[in-house]
Amino acid sequence: MAVHLVALVAAPAARRAAVLGRGELWVGTLDAVPDRVEALEAVDPGGDAVRFVWWAAGVDAHAAVARGARLSRCWDVAEAHRLIVGGWEATPQSAWATAHRLDRSRLPAASRGDLFDFSPTGHEPGPGGVVRADGYLAPEGGTAHWRPDDQTLLAWAQAALDCAARQEELLAQTGPRAVAAAHSESAAALLCVELARDGLPLDRARAEQLITEAAGPRPDSDAHAREIRAARDRVVLEQVPGHERTDLRNPVQVKELLASAGVDVPNTRKWVLEPFRETSGVVAALLDWRKAERIATTYGWGWLETHVGADDRLRGGWTACDGAAGRMTAQNGLHNLPTSLRPAVAAHPGHVFVRADLGQIEPRVLAAVSGDAALAAATRADDLYAPVAASLGVERPVAKVAVLAAMYGQRSGAAGEALKGLERAYPVAMGFLDRAYAAGLRREPMRTFGGRLIPLDTVLADVTVDGSREGRAEDVVAVPDPGRGTAGDTGRDSGRDSGRDSGRDAARGRFARNAVIQGSAAELFKAWAATVRATTRDLGAQIVLCLHDELLVHVPQEHAELTQQRVEQALTDSARRWTGSTAVRFVADASVISRWSEAKG
């Protein structure tokens, strides 16, 4: 089957869009986009197909998705750019410069059109063009207020096709999986547009009940809200008479309150306080108060009214890449909904959820990316930790702690002892992690299994001594960044090493060690999600949540069993394509549920 590239670009401010490729040369209104898309998507089985190319799904694909169009294959220039150079910034101008090996630090700025605009002139594109005489893309192109004429919009579409072709060449040079990664990353960006449009089904009545139980009734005035807040505080303050004026939202005052009750702690973080829950009434009350306070201030009545639509769907913005190693992110509580509110996430009438969660994903990914045959053999078991424990001669819980400690860089206590056994049993996997750690110490850029650049010197700029910063990376290979300096420039400045605290450097190494796994796991997850989206759409199934390693699919009840089967098969198929073999087995815990809270784990 031949796949043809077809550009789909939009200029929302002008309410116009263009389609170019496979014999199409069309410019029209945004409302007419779905008809053009569907005509191109409608091909006979076994016939030619199209892959839509756009600058960014949030702008161009949105023009079609928001009006009900269903798109299949795509190439997202912004997501491909993020794979190539890492980070988050991915304007059309930056992607174009990288693809054409131009210096991104010299990107032209858009003219302000006033007397104080000192931007150089003489390079602007001619009428109907978007590429300047110096090779850069016109800075106005694709901006929020851009209103191109039809000829210019078609030139914008042609530029997207040219940029995508050059990106594919660059990615093919990067590694054997990079082009496929661009396909799945692009599909994930398209899925993000659909997730933002469709929302997460919610039982409003149940949500209101849960909010009331946690944070009190809906306030009918500011005075009423203050009364509810004071009542919530009083439950804690009554535990320590004489401290009724303590502000529980002030960590310094809370620490003083605890000290007066005989609880002397270095800080008031949850993990520090949790050991005192059973022996201190004020600590138990404070921890419960924090849960209620979080509901009241972040997921309370204002949240419900602002983000849950009249159709009882929770909506928020989605992104396919977090700017570090590529995890999907979401807003408005879609990725941080408290467990206590999960009973409110409920399938709508006539529907159920198929919920699937990747099992023991980190060690299985480690087996795949490291090429450790012994660890790969352990993945054949449903419970990977059982054969690992047998190899080490330890109990299963110890084996689990050891494996996780290896990926998170812990070497003290029982985990440190078990790590010695891991190094003997799985030397290839442990050597892989050690090389990642060393690369983190050197702050060298690395690439994930799928080819995403992780510029550790930038990503880890604010890593703490305890290593607490979310991010991921992989493959321990220093690589040049197209469009940034010379081919041999890794972006490191050895002068910055002098005077560095050894603890901070070690934290960088631990970060990179964990990033080896997390970045690759994110790629596999998105490949899986894209496959589920493609193989269940004929059943009326709709992915409504992507949470780290978990998928929630909303499906008509009569298709629940078949959807579950396809979700499980999609993991097998996408993992085989992602790894290039069947040596490593990946598993998912899939079930049919009515409410999210019914899921195990």
Give the separation between CA 301 and CA 489, rounded to whole angstroms. Answer: 52
Sign of CA dihedral 530, 534, 536, 540: positive
Which structure tokens are listed for 86? 């890492």
Query: Considering the chain, what is the average pLDDT of its residues?
Result: 88
The average pLDDT across 133-143 equals: 94
Count of CA atoms in the C-beta half-sphere (13 A) of 294: 12
3-state helix, strand, coil in the chain (%, to 5): 50, 15, 35
C-alpha distances out from residue 501 to 93, 231, 408, Å: 39, 47, 20
Which structure tokens are listed for 13? 């401010």
Residue 247's CB is within 10 A of a number of other CB atoms, namely 11
> What is the per-residue pLDDT for 122?
64
Q: Measuring CA to CA, which residue among 268, 275, 281, 298 is closest to residue 235?
A: 281
Q: Measuring CA to CA, which residue among 49, 43, 55, 48 is closest to residue 18?
A: 55
> What is the per-residue pLDDT for 531?
97
Query: Is the separation of the CB atoms in 544 and 536 below 8 Å?
Result: no
- Start-to-end CA span in the chain (Å): 42
Lowest mean pLDDT among 336-350, 411-425, 519-533: 411-425
Which structure tokens are listed for 325? 């190693």
Residue tagged 């928001």 (tokens)? 66
Give the separation between CA 187 and CA 582, rounded to whole angstroms. Answer: 23
Residue 397's CB is within 10 A of a number of other CB atoms, namely 11
The per-residue pLDDT for range 425-464, each reduced to its tens digit, is 999 999 999 999 898 888 888 888 999 988 776 655 544 4
Domains of the chain, with CATH numbers? 3-112+124-174 (no CATH), 204-306 (no CATH), 315-360+523-598 (3.30.70.370), 361-521 (1.10.150.20)
> What is the per-residue pLDDT for 481?
41
Strands 200-201 and 313-314, by their bridges, are: antiparallel
Q: Give 386: exposed, middle or buried? Use CB within 10 Å, 0-12, 13-18, 19+.
A: middle
How many residues appear in the chain?
Answer: 601
3-state class (DSSP) for residue 47: coil
Which amino acid, residue 198?
Answer: D
The per-residue pLDDT for range 380-393, each reduced to its tens digit, is 999 999 999 999 98
Lowest mean pLDDT among 439-448, 494-503, 515-524: 494-503
Lowest mean pLDDT among 366-380, 485-499, 577-591: 485-499
The average pLDDT across 478-498 equals: 38
C-alpha distances out from residue 80 to 85, 95, 179, 273, 494, Å: 9, 8, 9, 44, 30
Model pTM above 0.85 = yes
Q: Which residues contact 455 (CB under 8 A, 6 or more apart)?
A: 85, 86, 87, 445, 481, 491
Which amino acid, residue 557?
Answer: Q
Q: Which residues contact 285 (CB under 8 A, 6 or more apart)?
A: 235, 236, 239
Give the separation between CA 473 and CA 466, rounded to whole angstroms. Answer: 18
Give the separation between CA 295 and CA 289, rounded to whole angstroms. Answer: 10
pLDDT of 528 strictly over 80? yes
pLDDT of 116 strictly over 60? no
Q: What are phi and psi of 597, to 5 degrees?
A: -65, -15
